[in-house]
Amino acid sequence: MRALVFDCDGVLADTERYGHLPAFNATFAAFGLPVEWSPEEYGEKLRIGGGKERMATLFADPELVRAQGLPTDPGAQRELLQEWHRHKTAVYKQIVQSGQLPPRPGIARVVGEALAAGWSLAVASTSAEEAVRAVLEHAVGAEQARRFVVVAGDDVPRKKPDPAVYTLAVEQLGARPQDALAVEDSRNGLLAAVGAGLRCVVTVSGYTAEEDMSEAALVLTSLGDPGEPAEVLANRSAARPGATIELEDLEACL
């Protein structure tokens, strides 16, 4: 059985800059926090896996904690993070449902081809499950989205680059790691996938184009669609892709 396991953010849609970042900033404003991450600053935050974990960096600023009366007790911090993150996820879902985040080229096409060929599909993401499902449904349609296994950040004890999310996704699909191909956009995700024994194709995003992807079988600008061709940045596989990445190209990466 062949399996295809997608990351969510930056892979299904360009969600980081145009979805998560404004949702984080809107949440900070809603809670009266004098914090607004710039696109450049958020790029640094992306080195940390998980939204709650990125928000938790605010507690590392003693001046902000003191000025805003933020808790110093770890238990109270966790409770406040949960509250912040629930609000952020609701804002993010509104952005997704508004149609402001079009799917990345090739996603809906490749998903349709894979399902028709009998592949099993999953999403393995460190984001909240409801946010992942919202993006997935928007990217591939409700009917196809129902055929995915979704493993999200709260399902595993450690976030990427730890391989736990991919290990669990493959287990839930009933597949072997050597028969599963990951599609990622970041080095953290790539390391998580290969750490779980999967081969990996990378479609770089705006925040990850300069990262080291040397462990990837294939590195691309996207999966490509007619009128939106993919560019091959590195190929360490048996695939011979053209302007659009076909299912046979992905299978060759295994």
The alpha carbon of residue 170 and the mean position of all alpha carbons in its chain are separated, in whole angstroms, by: 16
Strand (E) or helix (H) holding 200: strand 199-203
| Residue partners of 191: CB distance under 8 A and separation at least 6 | 160, 161, 163, 215
How many C-beta neighbours within 10 Å does residue 174 have? 10
Residues annotated as catalytic (active site), given as ranges: 7, 9
User: Within 13 Å of residue 136, how many CA atoms lie on the same side as its CB?
Assistant: 28
Write the single-letter amino acid at 229: P
The alpha carbon of residue 71 and the mean position of all alpha carbons in its chain are separated, in whole angstroms, by: 30
Q: What are phi and psi of 16, to 5 degrees?
A: -65, -60
SS3 (DSSP) at 155: helix
Q: 125 and 169 in contact (C-beta within 8 Å)?
A: no
Q: 30 and 150 in contact (C-beta within 8 Å)?
A: no
118: left (phi over 0), alpha (psi -120 to 50) or beta: left
